[in-house]
Amino acid sequence: MFSMITSIYRHPASRRKWLTIFSGAFITFALVAWYGFGLAGPWAPLMTAAAILAGYDIALRAWAALRLRHLSIELLVIVAATGAVFIDNYWESAAVTFLFMLGAWLESRTMSRTRGALKALIDAAPVTATVLRGGEPVEVAAHVVQLGETVLVKAGQRLPVDGEVIEGAAAVNEAAITGEPIPAEKTPGSRVFAGTLAENGLLYLRATGVGADTALARIISRVEEAQEAKAPAQRMIESFGRWYTPAVFLLAIGSYLVTRDIELALTLLVVGCPGALVISTPVSVIAGIGRAARAGILIKGGEHLENAGRITALALDKTGTLTEGRPRLAEVVALAGQSREDVLLWAGIAETGSTHPLGRPIVEAARARGALPTAEALEEISGMGLIARHNDHQIAVGSHRLFDHLGIAFNAGTTDAIARLHGLGHTVVIVARDGEVVGLLGLADMPRASAKPMIDRLHALGVRRVVMLTGDQRPAAEAIARAVGVDEVHAGMMPDDKLDQIRAMQAEGLRVAMVGDGINDAPALAAADISIAMGAGGSDIAIETADIALMTDDLGKIAEAMEISRATLTNMRQNLVIAVLTVVGLLVGVYTGSIHMAGGMLIHQLSVLIVIANGMRLLRVPKAAKIGTARQTAEHVVA
């Protein structure tokens, strides 16, 4: 029992919580005794006890600060509360100390929730890792894994280190790094990141980055640096905070000398606490950058957060950002006298039981043409393909490696057709029935169905020109540009041409954002008002150099970043207005005698909570973004 009390006492947060609770209880007793039973006797001692309980911790902190020659807010409060007891104002003294403690407790709770956007990321990294040492799996702390060691990850586990897959296969959900909810297929040779989630399979990784040297840790520290990078206005408010407390003391003393009203002077000490004003802008910036980080958008500081909302032109450097970045069924080739429908049907039957990413588009396409039976038996050969049985037929679907493995040879027609599809840049899936090749499926990265609405959304947000600056040849670039609604195409461009184009747009008075990969387009990126790196998950250079780094190749994130930027600016202005109105209102109230100590403290603490709560609104996903995502998903299903 005693040790429990001492442990509560030693822990500052729990000590403050219990002192606040007891103080509140004493105040309640006093109020009940007075108003419920008309007892005046217990009023003064109970209220004084409440003031001492709540004031004890405030006094400790005021004293600790004073010893370091720092005039703290706690000192203002404790002087006011002590003064109130001496002029027999027990209620004011108890209320001021209690409300200060209660407010501080609520504020630290809400503030840590505002910071919480990052906590999810920090918590994504597992604490332990299973390492193969001498052929035996050993569980060790994640940050002591040696580089080059083999780490074992089972289905359902989060990856403890950055690494390269050396054996096994799994669908890995990389939402923690990229914000992308669709899992990526990982096979030997793939790069994988700490904090991502293996949804199935089994992976053996060679560790290439551990602890603070992982993509996740770097993203977290970048976001924190961005949140800490102070806008000039914020710096001014902070330095203002440093001479604020002494100024309030001087004001209180001055007011007393002029009015000879001790209560007025003490009330000034209470309402003078710099609360809402000093946190009004930082709380918005923290929430805005945190909200963006959760969506896979890394905004590198308050300044860029501000500029992102003011973009009027967007230059894209490559067609890749406008295409899907995942395979889609582009062509079906029928061989050996089969129909194309049958080829797709056989492939679809085999792939229904598969989790492979190339299987999904095949099944979708087959389902779109009618009901799809399920295979009776299925064998998946990792990295090659699969063999299924249906209606006494053996179906083999996979890459040429599967057919080498099965010993099925290709005739000249098949080889030619494979070469033709490869020439179109397609990934080729071969379909065989009972040992005979019956057809081919060509899978390719198509222009994104969602690219057009995304560009429309950018236009709606006030981006006047979306310009493609690409080194690609004109026909290919123009076909994609037309399909997605890009305003201008500049094809066959060298890096210097891109720079000139950006400068020309700026000369027209446009605020230009440039999307690039951070290396080839360095001059153009540097010249742009805002540089944006896409698909930056894990790429250090992109994260280092860009003003805004998007963890995925999703163009919609640019619109989202603009929306977050604008919402943050509005939020910041609202907070400043709330804070300034509170300070002015309180001062007027005090000098006209309509606000006393307890009321002043209540209003002051409420204004701080309102400012934090207002900032927290930014953490919610706005309605528009939700609708956008739903529409995108729907399009994928339809197309």
Partner 1 sequence: MTKTATRTTLRSDELSCPSCIPKIEKALLALPGVEKAEVKFASGRIEVEHDPALSDVDALVNSIAKTGYTAKPSAF
Helices 90-114 and 43-67 pack at an angle, to 10 degrees, of 50
317 catalytic? Reply is yes
Distances in whole angstroms, Cα of residue 373 to Cα of each of 98, 232, 366, 433: 70, 65, 10, 16
Cβ-Cβ contacts under 8 Å for 416 (sequence gap 6 or more): none
Cα–Cα distance between 82 and 88 in angstroms, integer?
A: 10
H or E segment and range at residue 584: helix 556-591
**Per the residue annotation, which of 57, 162, 317, 547 is the catalytic one?**
317
Which residue among 6, 28, 200, 221 contacts partner 1 (CB under 8 A)? 221
> What residue type is 437 in one-letter code?
V
Q: Is 427 helix (H, G, I), strand (E, B) or coil?
A: strand
Cα–Cα distance between 552 and 549 in angstroms, integer?
A: 9
Cα–Cα distance between 372 and 360 in angstroms, integer?
A: 13
Which residue among 57, 306, 380, 547 contacts partner 1 (CB under 8 A)? 57
Which residue among 55, 83, 126, 274 contacts partner 1 (CB under 8 A)? 274
Asked if residues 211 and 142 have their Cβ atoms less than 8 Å apart, the reply is yes
Closest approach of partner 1 to the CB of residue 583, in Å: 15
In the block, residue with structure tokens 């950002």: 321
Specify the pairing of strand 512-516 against strand 313-316: parallel
- In the bound state with partner 1, the residue whose beta carbon lies nearer, of 61 and 596, is 61
Residue 228 touches partner 1, criterion: CB under 8 A: yes
Q: How many CB atoms lie within 10 A of CB 471?
A: 18
Q: Is 262 helix (H, G, I), strand (E, B) or coil?
A: helix
Q: Which stretch binds partner 1 (CB under 8 A): 260-268, 278-286, 334-342, 426-434?
A: 278-286
Residues 102-141, one symbol each (x = binds partner 1 by CB under 8 A, - = not), give --x--xx--xx--x--x-----------------------
Residues 155-194, one symbol each (x = binds partner 1 by CB under 8 A, - = not), give ----------------------------------------
Residue 293 touches partner 1, criterion: CB under 8 A: no
Q: Which stretch binds partner 1 (CB under 8 A): 39-47, 64-72, 303-311, 613-621?
A: 64-72
Helix then strand count (H, E) for the chain reads 25, 21
Residue 285 touches partner 1, criterion: CB under 8 A: yes
Cα–Cα distance between 335 and 636 in angstroms, integer?
A: 29
Q: Which stretch binds partner 1 (CB under 8 A): 55-63, 187-195, 199-207, 343-351?
A: 55-63
Which residue among 362, 387, 608, 618 contacts partner 1 (CB under 8 A)? 608
Residue 68 touches partner 1, criterion: CB under 8 A: yes
Residue 232 touches partner 1, criterion: CB under 8 A: no
Q: Which stretch binds partner 1 (CB under 8 A): 191-199, 218-226, 372-380, 622-630?
A: 218-226
Specify the pairing of strand 488-490 against strand 465-469: parallel
Query: What is the distance of C-alpha 407 from the center of its chain?
Result: 49
- In the bound state with partner 1, the residue whose beta carbon lies nearer, of 127 and 494, is 127
Which residue among 151, 286, 466, 543 contacts partner 1 (CB under 8 A)? 286
Cα–Cα distance between 308 and 360 in angstroms, integer?
A: 36
Closest approach of partner 1 to the CB of residue 11, in Å: 6
Catalytic residues, by residue number, are: 317
The residues that touch partner 1, with contacts defined as CB under 8 A, are: 10-13, 16, 57, 60-61, 64-65, 68-70, 72-73, 104, 107-108, 111-112, 115, 118, 143, 211-212, 217, 220-221, 224, 227-228, 238, 241-242, 245, 274-275, 278-279, 282, 285-286, 608
